[in-house]
Amino acid sequence: MIKSLLNTCLICCSLLTCCAVAQEHTIDIKKFKFTPQQLTIKVGDTVIWQNIEKRQYHNVWFKQLFEQEPEIIFPGENYQLSFDKPGTYPYSCGPHPKMTGTIVVK
């Protein structure tokens, strides 16, 4: 009985470890900054950038992932991206290249 219970416990723990639920993370765009500027997430997680400026438009450009500059995010809009591979992903705002950020996927 104890061996059976132990085996059940091990199977449940394995399932919980391999089947972790993906999470959503939010980055605010305000005052010409991405906040937080660096974010560490897990494989499968989604990041949502929300433009909370009053008048200014921005975008989120991962030059290493996308050849063309992405569409503009106007105030009140958002952009989201899921990450399925580990790595370090730097990005910037196309119209405002001094605005930078980094996503670290572990």
Sketch the domain layout of the chain as residue ranges: 22-105
Confidence of residue 8 (pLDDT cuts 50, 70, 90): very low
| Spatial separation of the C-alpha atoms in residues 103 and 85, rounded to whole Å | 11
Confidence of residue 20 (pLDDT cuts 50, 70, 90): confident
Q: How many CB atoms lie within 10 A of CB 53?
A: 17
**Predicted confidence (pLDDT) at residue 101 exceeds the cutoff of 90:** yes
- Indicate the average pLDDT of the chain: 87
**Predicted confidence (pLDDT) at residue 59 exceeds the cutoff of 70:** yes
**Predicted confidence (pLDDT) at residue 11 exceeds the cutoff of 90:** no
**Predicted confidence (pLDDT) at residue 90 exceeds the cutoff of 70:** yes
For residue 42, give the 3-state DSSP assignment.
Answer: coil
Over residues 70-77, mean pLDDT = 96
| Spatial separation of the C-alpha atoms in residues 77 and 57, rounded to whole Å | 9
For 104, counting Cβ atoms within 10 Å of its Cβ (0-12 exposed, 13-18 middle, 19+ buried), the class is middle
**Is domain 22-105 classified as CATH 1.10.3720.10?**
no
